[in-house]
Amino acid sequence: MSDCKTKGCGTKHNEGITCMVKNCAYHDGECYCDAKEISVGPSHANTSADTICATFKPRAN
């Protein structure tokens, strides 16, 4: 993900939220999330591997 912070990605993204999920409707085409807000869960996660982005929405073709 460090590559995203040095590429100078788009302008309307959330600066602190990088995203590698290119098939998400909120992916900015580079490496950031354009969603107005995000939701991450579940509440019983113990590690980052246990979490998911509940805001994910598949990109329309």
Residues 6+ away with beta carbon under 8 Å from 55: 26, 33, 35, 37, 38, 39, 40
Q: What would the pLDDT profile of 2-46 be if each residue is shown by its tens digit?
A: 455 544 444 467 778 889 999 999 998 888 999 988 999 988 999
| H/E element, 23 | none
Q: Which domain holds residue 9?
A: 1-61
| Cβ atoms of 28 and 12 closer than 8 Å | yes
pLDDT at 56: 94
Is the whole model's pTM more than 0.75, yes or no?
Answer: no
pLDDT at 22: 92
pLDDT at 16: 81
pLDDT at 9: 44
Number of domains in the chain: 1
